[in-house]
Structure 1
Amino acid sequence: MNPATIALRAGWSRGLIELRQSFTNGAELFSHFLWPGLMVAAMFFIRNTSFGSSGLLLGTLALPSILGMNASVGVISMSQQLTADREDGTLLRAKATPHGMPAYLIGKVISISGGLLADLVIFLVPAMLLVDGLEVGPGSWPTLAWVLALGLVATLPIGAVLGSVFTSARAQGLVQLPYLALIGISGIFYPITALPEWLQGIAQIFPIYWMGLGMRSALLPDSAVAIEIGESWRHLETVGVLGTWAVLGLLVAPVVLRRMARGESGSSVTARRERAMQRIG
């Protein structure tokens, strides 16, 4: 059988098992509801707040933006899971198995993507009951689909690279803090046009802003485009930026992952466990 087919089948099976386990394990099930629940709470408090004289409510503007932001959380999830699996020896076992590394990565992509989709539904259903002014129709779903698909391809490889760089779960704070800062300047909870132009320029480099913009273009009325940069949904620019990140990630991630896998050994896993035990002690 073709090695690629073997890896794809093994990865698909592994991903489905991990996804199913995430909804039967108490701690992971709680995490599936925690972040969406916090976002629904945020929506509750801003749902009736108007944005200037635009006639639009912040809750209406924020809901699709939060969808885009939640989809980009794959960066954090992939990075954390790779780092954890590196610490406990899971990656070493995958390395020692024929076609194990490709199957491992395929499995992670499936389980993380599936979990993110479930989290989006958990957020979207109650949030839509709180917010008025959305325009959801047949034309919304194709845009939601391509923005989500392209956004995942743009962000998951970044998470794989970051997970390969950091050798300790404690170092994940170096990923999360910049990520939270990017959320703050990416127009998620408040329109980006209210920020200084230099901050707008920084936000437009990264995928979070463009994923939020794409979701807004799918779910908001046409009049809402007046508060966007250039008064345009900028679909071509969205495809360009997310596509660039996707290409860069798909080129860099395999190289970094191969180098990381070559450096994995029983002694390195043991050394990391001993350091972890010393910190606990």
Structure 2
Amino acid sequence: MKRLSLALLALVTALVAEAHVPFLKPNQFNVTHHRLTIESAFTEFPFQADFAMDSPNFTITSPAGEVTAIKPIAKTKAAVYLEPELKEEGSYRISTGQRVGPVYKAVETPDKKLYFAADMKRVSGKPTTMNYYSYADTYIFKGQQKYKPVPLNKGLEIIPLASPNGVQLGGELSLQVLEHGKPVPNARIIVVTDNEHFSKRRMEDLYDVENVRPSNLHANQQGEFTFKPQKAGLNFLFVTVHHQLNEHLWESLNASLTLEVNLPPETANKP
């Protein structure tokens, strides 16, 4: 029993050694059949589920803007699964809502940057603590897209200003970063494509405040930015905002958005 306990402790330590980020992943964005499943998990490399992200605030927003709570239908160690029902044509927002996480040990550097998990080993500064908040969104549709932005105005959100299901390779999509309904000026948006760490050998921690990958985007003073996808398929947008609450406590607000980028019609059937 003692050996088993030590093994479990080692496993838990390994899981929290790196900074994980939240994501939602539908098995279909254009919903054409009833086998719709949405995966909710934390990861270091989207979209590979490392451990389950449950939330008391899962919601579905209908094309008419009606927000309804939804409950998971299954949970494993790696992921939580949702099966929302789409009753009408149009675009639907699936959201974890703001999920309150644990308080972590952290390091505050002299220039007011905040680090936790494995990042603490490579910086020096003042010991502090950090409360981690997660927020993940994705959009699916049935029939016509019929989209309008509907912020929940709680926590950190990445809100598409046009239909997120209409974005194509070679096109663009306007979005806005909001915190409690207000624009976040100059927000940094990390852009990741599915499995890119295999093709580009990228090892940067997505949460790292010093992450300067070339694909990063930055919002303007109104929190708005333009996403111009460089690869078709699953794309992951991620934002982090830090606030110091007092001398000993920070809060870390984290939001992600999963998008499906399609090929333009003229190239969709070409090899």
Q: The TM-score by the shorter chain falls in which range? A: under 0.3
TM-score w.r.t. structure 2 length?
0.25
Q: Which has the higher contact order (CA 8 A, sep 6+)?
A: 1
